[in-house]
Amino acid sequence: MGLEIERKFLVKNDSWKKEVSNSFSLKQGYLSSNPDRTVRIRITEQSAFLTIKSKSQGISRQEFEYTIPLNEAKELLLLCEKPIIEKIRYLVKIESHTWEIDVFEGENKGLTIAEIELSDENEEFEIHAWIGKEVSDDSRYFNSNLIACPFNSWEK
């Protein structure tokens, strides 16, 4: 069993872009977006994964992730709840951490979230100038909720 400890933040400017070490496109869909357990299919250009996550307890939850054949993942994506989440993921390595900055496309265009995975809920890390408000506890920003209520449908 894996344990995911993750914090999420809105991104307030583009100054992170000069620190990007890698980027790739993602498509992900949910076979189950039930808050008690999510089942996700994620596809990149070259690989695919089936991920099962438990309900969050604070910023932690159980996570099980398995590599699956890309052709099967594409078929499974057709069975997923709509809309499919589309985003570009940028990796920014700072000290011992790698930040994942997701720039959403499609029905969630305009949303940019920075995530950091930690080894302990109390682990300290540096907050950079491009990091905005923390949204770790705001379920609206969970990818599984962005299919039911896409960012572009929110009242601004």
* Residue 56 phi, psi (nearest 5): -70, 140
The single residue of 30, 66, 90, 141 carrying the catalytic annotation is: 30
Please report which helix (H) or strand (E) contains residue 73, including its range. helix 70-79
Q: Where are the beta strands (DSSP E) in the chain?
A: 2-11, 20-32, 37-43, 48-54, 60-67, 85-94, 97-104, 112-117, 131-134
Question: CB neighbours of 149 closer than 8 A, spacing ≥ 6?
Answer: 140
The domain containing residue 73 runs over which residues? 2-153
Q: How large a percentage of the chain has pLDDT more than 70?
A: 99
- CA 74/CA 149 separation, integer angstroms: 23
Query: Does 56 score more than 90 pLDDT?
Result: no
Q: Is 66 a catalytic residue?
A: no
What tokens does 34 get?
A: 């039930």
CATH number reported for the structural domain that contains residue 55 in this entry: 2.40.320.10
When pLDDT is cut at 50, 70 and 90, the band that residue 1 belongs to is low
When pLDDT is cut at 50, 70 and 90, the band that residue 54 belongs to is very high
- CA 23/CA 5 separation, integer angstroms: 22
- The answer to whether the CB of 44 falls within 8 A of the CB of 51 is no
First to last CA, the chain: 39
pTM of the model: 0.93
Distances in Å between the alpha carbon of 53 and those of 46, 67, 94, 122, 132?
Answer: 23, 15, 27, 21, 26
The pLDDT assigned to 41 comes to: 98
For the chain, how many structural domains are there in total? 1
Task: List, as one string, the DSSP characters of 34-67.
Answer: -TTEEEEEEE-SS-EEEEEEE--BTTEEEEEEEE
- The per-residue pLDDT for range 77-127, each reduced to its tens digit, is 999 999 999 999 999 998 899 999 999 999 999 999 999 999 999 999 989
